[in-house]
Chains A and B, each alone.
Chain A
Amino acid sequence: MVAPAGYNELAVEVHDVRVSLGGTPVLEGVDLHIPRGQIVALIGPNGAGKTTLLRCLLGLQKTDAGQIRLLGEDHLERALPRIGYVPQRLALERSFMLSVREFLALRLPETRHWFWQRKTRIDELLGAVVSELGVGGLLNWPVAQLSGGQLQRVLIAFSLLGRPELLLLDEPTAGVDTPGEQTFYEVIAEVHRRRHLTVVLVSHDLSMVFRHASWVYALNHVVCCEGSPEQVMNEESLKQAYGIQVSPYHHHHSHVH
């Protein structure tokens, strides 16, 4: 891999990581070297190990072998406070009346006693992130009743409140309609531009990846290929990753699964 010029520090270093789930190998010696400040996409077919890899980075999945360093730290506990994580969805019971304001308040130490604090005080402490992500109008809504696109914006706002240096997103646009998906990637690009974050996102939408990612890893139990979107998103590389003929340019939201 030729790292883009100007980046000599790595946000994510993964060396020879191996994971088996229930006796089936899912990751068979994965290496990643993600420079700081990039938007990096992990693409690959279902069952390729993308989400498992993300879970390994977050310490949610034990590895059988290999090393992981995040933000220059060998110990995940030291890196975690500087990491933001956006899951696919919350799977919140509709019976749980958590409002968006209360949910966002859970991220800040200053608002951890939200139960006793006034709404105006909480809004003040949440600050600019709310308007940056355009979730001001949603603050009184129950989180369980948000649409896919609204929820994703709330989840990003939640992550940004922790002032992360590294943002990890797991299939962020699953359950979001096409216009919502486009807006979502534009929001991510804007957040990346303003905050100079490193963004690692697991995605299945090749056209969006092509438009917004600066580096792409095609994963199928191992890293099949990596490079700039132009380098990776050609038919030969994708065939290698997906095992079938995939066209990166005529992909009008017909997801590759």
Chain B
Amino acid sequence: MFTEPFMQRALLAALFLSPLCALLGVFVTARRMAFFSDTISHGALAGIALGFWWGLSDPTVPMILFSLLVAGAILWLKENTELLTDTIMALLLSGSVSFGIMVLSLLKGYRGELHRFLFGDLLAVGSREVWTAAALLVVLGGVIFSRLSWLTLLTAHEEMAHVCGIPVRRVNYLFVVALTFTVALSIRLIGIMLVTSLLVIPAATARNLSRNLRQHLIFSVLAGLVGGVGGTLLAYQFDVPCGPMVVLTAIGLFLISLVAGRGRQKSRAI
């Protein structure tokens, strides 16, 4: 299994992306941004379709650009209109998915590709994506840990963060850009439909076992790694799509943490 080049690439991508997703996931869930991430990932479908339309064999660049466009549109509409956030996101999610499917349906020979992007594919991860994921992990991991206090205070209370001298708007935009890149790159492996679960489930698993934020972050990264890498290995073993297997592995870990967390609470109560 480990000698196959495509499998090596898929495992490396899981190794780099799943801890990053899990780390961001702690803040995504605390800031109620899960739907936001879902909208960004679905926005990628339109980018993928446009990439094929332009005849690109690898649509990664238009996919990231279109996700960034959707993220920018959400922020702009939130700041400049009185529309509810949920309305804005539902509008952009359904709009970009419809646009993407329309474009794909006009192209011949790409319909099979749609399934791969929706649910993730081990074979789809290219070496360029692996290196981009590694760079993303190093850069974003470094930035997040060096500015962890900013991000944490912003998550706790934006106005207090402003009073403490944190450039709230700038940090918010940077967080969205970081999230967009991570989500868009994870799509190849996990798929558009399921990529948000890579953010949400490890954070929820870690929540069951943690007493403070430090533990929450550490356990989330570990749960992400085990779910991501373990799920990828199992997908190969059983010859099934990668995304659903990763998600099921992560859910398995969540259930274990739920029981373990309850047990720990009871033993503390006694």
Contact = CB atoms under 8 A, between A and B. Distances in A.
B112 interface: no
Contacts of A113: 148-149
Contact of A92 (B30, B148, B210): B30
A120 B145 CA distance: 21
Given A81-B165, A95-B30, A97-B216, A142 B160 contact: no
Contacts of A93: 29-32
B156 interface: yes
Nearest to A162: B164
A142 B212 CA distance: 7
B211 A142 contact: yes
Nearest to B206: A97
Interface residues of B, number: 30
B149 A106 contact: yes
Interface string A8-22: 000000000000000
A87 B216 CA distance: 25
B153 interface: yes
A183 B208 CA distance: 34
Interface string B135-177: 0000000000100110011011101101111000000000000
A84 B152 CA distance: 18
A15 B207 CA distance: 49
A199 interface: no
B194 interface: no
Q: By CB atoms of chain A within 10 A, which of B29, B31, B164, B216 has the most?
A: B164
A106 B163 CA distance: 13
Q: How many residues of A sit at the interface, in one of the four size bands? A: 20 to 34
B189 interface: no
Given A93-B32, A103-B156, A115 B214 contact: yes
Contact of B211 (A87, A96, A106, A140): A140
A99 B203 contact: no
B159 A140 contact: no
Interface in A77-130: 80-81, 83-85, 87, 90-93, 95-99, 101-103, 105-107, 112-115
Given A58-B162, A87-B159, A92-B156, A112 B212 contact: no
Q: By CB atoms of chain B within 10 A, which of A87, A103, A106 has the most?
A: A106
B29 A87 contact: no
Contacts of A87: 157, 159-160
Nearest to B212: A99
Interface in B32-91: 32
Contacts of B165: 80-81
A85 B160 contact: yes
Contacts of B210: 97
A102 B30 contact: no
B255 interface: no
Contacts of A95: 29-30, 203-204, 207
6 contacts: A58-B163, A80-B165, A84-B163, A95-B30, A103-B156, A112-B149
Interface of A: 55, 58-60, 80-81, 83-85, 87, 90-93, 95-99, 101-103, 105-107, 112-115, 140, 142-143, 158, 162
User: What are the 5 tightest A-B residue pairs by CB atom distance, in nearest-first order?
Assistant: A96-B30, A99-B212, A97-B216, A85-B163, A112-B149
